[in-house]
Structure 1
Amino acid sequence: MRSFGPDDRDLLRSDAAKLYEEIVAEGGLQEGDPRMVTERRAFDLLLGLGLISPDHEGGAFHAVDPGAVQSRVVAPLGQEGARLLDESSQWAQTFASLAQVWRRSPDTGRGPFTLVHNEAIDPFIAGMVADCEVEMLTAQPQTGRNRKALAAAAVRDTALLERGMKIRTLYQHSARRHAVTRKYVAAVTELGAEVRTLDEFFNRMIIVDRRIAVIPGREDVRSAMVIREPSIVAYLADIFERTWERARPFTMSQKSSTMSGIAGEQRAMTIRMLIEGHSDPVSAKRLGVSARTYAGYVADLKEEYEADTRFQLGYTMGTLGVSGNEHQESGQEPQDE
């Protein structure tokens, strides 16, 4: 049977449909009717589809019920569509298997380091996470992770947890006040993930199965450095573990004692930023808060030490021996919630 395409469908909706209506209204189309010539394409389409049938005895063409014709045209298209969907799925699975081999092999000419740029970053990370077999470690600074990024991460990480994998994630303390982040944390911790926060830590990082790590690339372009060198991956994992031990568990209960301890750590961090002479934008970024919030922290310190200017604040803290390192020097460990 002849196959029909989009052009035929458009013709059927316009000129051929009009001719079909006329044939139905007139009870047929007589042999030799001028419209068989003037509307030849429409006539041939109706005849080819089987919507009109010749009456060999009377030499006329009569309309045929479209319901009886539809299955002959639509059913093969549906079958072909199902076949193409299955074929595309098979191709996707085949390429996924090859991609997994490519990502895992250390000897594909990529070396221990690969720089991934722009639109290629997210698909690469998605594939890397999909290959996870044991555990994923992530460090996520609060800045730069918007609602869309968190929604994508929630879908990706939920699938990972449902496969029985482990996830441990580090945030800055400021993430506890971010509604979207709290929603994400609630979803993944319910499935077994562990999330902790601390005042400051290293930059964004993902480590999968302690065999491959992704860290930010150059700051002037959107890029990510993929690291497969075992010694460096192990080193990054060790940094993560040491930082993890200092961090506080991020649960939804938010006990007052924990929040008090977090406030103290952020206060100490603000003091260190002031003493070290960092600008407000840099200090705010390292704390994971907005410049306005950071300015509020500084204002609170001025009020606490009865200082009118930052110079007076620095002088007073110096006189009192305040360094911002009192918590670390005391040897206190963060308390679990």
Structure 2
Amino acid sequence: MPDLGQREREVFESSAAPLYEEAALSGGLKDSDPRLQHGGELREALDLLVSLSLLVHDPDNASYVPVDPSTVQSHVVGPMSQRGADLLNESSEWARAFGGLSQAWRRSPGAVRGPISEFHTHAIGVFISGAVAEAEEELLTAQPQTGRERASLKAATERDQAALERGVTMRTLYQHSARRHAMTRSYVAEVTALGAEVRTLDEFFNRMIVVDRRLAIIPGPSGDDVAIAVQEPALVAYLVDVFERAWERARPFTNTERSMMNDIAREQRAMTIRMLIEGHSDPVSAKRLGVSARTFAGYVADLKTEYDAETRFQLGYTMGQRGVSGREDD
């Protein structure tokens, strides 16, 4: 029996099964059929059916004749079921073995203890995955930038889907710029289909994950290569309150009504004005808006056109004369 996997199953469903039905209805397939020759369009399907003993060659009639599939199925499915049972048993044994290692780590002098812990580089992803996997009730996440790599976003999708499927509620905050990021939109579509809620906000905020309101994971002071895990109840409650206040001001990601999109455009415009007035550099301003430096430069160019200014100095002067601050209601 050949090794069977996803590739073989796809071939079986797409071309081998129809070819078998054709053989069953016609009483066999002639060797001379050009589709079955080497390089023919159905040669791979034929080879698979022969390897599964669903077709056997009849040299007297120079043809391939079908075999009752009920006599073959048990030889194919049975070993797979057994391998699945063996893998489940082996996985439980591995879990037990790792449980022993965890106990040893907690007893070691170097184990991280206390209400605040620090993790570096590759250990950050491992810790986050473990924390999310242990979530029982709720996940709160804030993701300020949208430029996440495809691999990390795929891993996050699988991790978050697993949590949602076991009944964990999830709320996520992005910046408005995330609405233009194709991979982020795909991620949002997948998790919201499972019950997650996602909103966007114009303001800049730091990355954060809160698990069951007992553990908060925030960036370290030196950037993305350090993460701080906080388990002090008062600090976690404070961070949850910050999240809730931002959540109330945010707008549903799934809402694409024209009025909503116009409001979002106005909020991004106001944020751009504030960045200019406060004197931030383009890279810093772009990061705070969650966009590229080129996109931010486009926002500034739009403002120059709106206020009939040729330079940033003229733009700033004109906005100052008109009392524009970027914090107006409209």
**How high is the TM-score relative to the length of structure 1?**
0.68
Residue deviations 1:115-143, cap 9 Å, x none? 10111111111110011111000000124
* Alignment RMSD: 2.6
Shift of 1:86: 3.5
For 1:218, the equivalent position in structure 2 comes to: 221
Q: Secondary structure at the match of 2:277?
A: helix
Q: Check 1:98–1:307 CA distance in 2 against 1; reply closer, same or farther (3 A cut).
A: same
**Post-superposition offset of 1:90:** 1.4
Please say if 1:180 is aligned against 2:183: yes
Equivalent position of 2:47 in the other structure: none
Q: Relative to structure 1, is the Cα distance of residues 99 and 189 closer, same or farther in structure 2, using a 3 angstrom cutoff?
A: farther
Alignment of 1:181-220 (within 5 A): 181-219=184-222
Taking structure 1 as reference, are residues 273 and 291 closer, same or farther at Cα in structure 2, changes over 3 Å only?
Answer: same
Select 2:283's aligned residue among 281, 284, 293: 281
Shift of residue 248, structure 1, vs aligned partner = 0.2
Q: Give the match for residue 263 of structure 1.
A: 265
Unaligned ranges ≥5, structure 1: 1-78, 331-337
Structure 2 residue aligned with 1:63: none
Partner of 1:136: helix, strand, or coil? strand
SS across alignment from 1:222: strand
SS at match of 1:139: strand
Indicate the SS of the match to 1:302: helix
Structure 1 segment 137-152 matched on structure 2, within 5 A = 137-152=140-155
Kept in 2: contact 1:317–1:323 (CA 8 A): yes
Alpha-carbon distance in structure 2 between the residues aligned to 1:131 and 1:304: 51
Counterpart residue number, 1:42: none
- Equivalent position of 2:234 in the other structure: 231
Contact 1:100 1:131 in 2 (8 A): no
Q: CA deviation at 1:273?
A: 0.2
- Tell me, yes or no, if structure 1 residue 156 matches structure 2 residue 182: no
State the distance in 2 between where 1:100 and 1:199 align.
45
Q: State the SS of the aligned residue for 1:201.
A: coil
Q: Is the 8 A contact 2:204 2:289 kept in 1?
A: no
Counterpart-to-counterpart distance in 2, 1:275 and 1:226? 35
1:139–1:170 contact (8 Å) kept in structure 2: yes
CA distance, structure 1, for counterparts of residue 181 and residue 87 of structure 2: 45
Distance 1:159 1:87, change over 3 A: closer
- Secondary structure of the residue that 2:206 maps to in structure 1? coil
Distance in 2 (CA, whole Å) between partners of 1:134 and 1:220 is 29
Q: Give the Å deviation of 1:145.
A: 1.6
Match of 1:121 in 2: 124
- State the alpha-carbon separation in 2 of the partners of residues 121 and 319 from structure 1: 49
Q: For the Cα contact (< 8 Å) 1:161–1:193, is it kept in 2?
A: yes
- Cα deviation per residue 1:83-127 (whole Å; 9 max; x = unaligned)? 798445313245359759989xxxx76111111011111111111
Equivalent residue for 1:325, pick from 310, 323, 327: 327
**Aligned ranges for residues 28-107 of structure 1 at < 5 Å?**
86-87=89-90, 89-93=92-96, 95-96=98-99, 99=102
Q: Which residue of 2 aligns with 1:133?
A: 136
Q: Summarize the Cα distance change of 1:161–1:264 in structure 2 as closer, same or farther, 3 Å threshold.
A: same
Question: Which whole-Å CA distance do the structure 2 matches of 1:250 and 1:143 have between them?
Answer: 13
Q: Which amino acid aligns with 2:189?
A: A
Deviation sequence 1:45-89 (CA, Å, 0-9, x none): xxxxxxxxxxxxxxxxxxxxxxxxxxxxxxxxxx9xx97984453
State the partner residue of 2:48. Answer: none
More off after superposition, 186-195 vs 219-228: 219-228
In the aligned structure 2, how far is the partner of 1:188 from the partner of 1:101? 36
Q: Is the 8 A contact 1:139 1:205 kept in 2?
A: yes
The correspondence for 1:169, drawn from 162, 168, 172, is: 172
Q: Which runs of 4+ in 1 moved over 4 A?
A: 82-85, 96-103
Whole-angstrom CA distance in 2 between matches of 1:268 and 1:84: 56
Q: Distance in 2 between matches of 1:97 and 1:160?
A: 25
In the other structure, the counterpart of 1:47 is none
Structure 2: distance between partners of 1:256 and 1:84: 52
TM value normalised by structure 2: 0.69
Task: Report deviation, 1:147.
Answer: 1.5
Distance, in Å, in 2 between the alignment partners of 1:291 and 1:148 is 24
Q: Does 1:291 align with 2:296?
A: no
Which residue in the other structure is 2:6 paired with? none
Which residue identity lines up with residue 236 of structure 1 in the other structure?
L
User: Which one-letter code corresponds to 1:242 in the other structure?
Assistant: R
8 Å CA contact 2:146–2:177 kept in 1: the answer is: no
Contact 2:169–2:196 (CA under 8 A) maintained in structure 1? yes
- Name the CA shift for 1:196/1:88 in 2 (closer, same or farther; >3 Å): closer
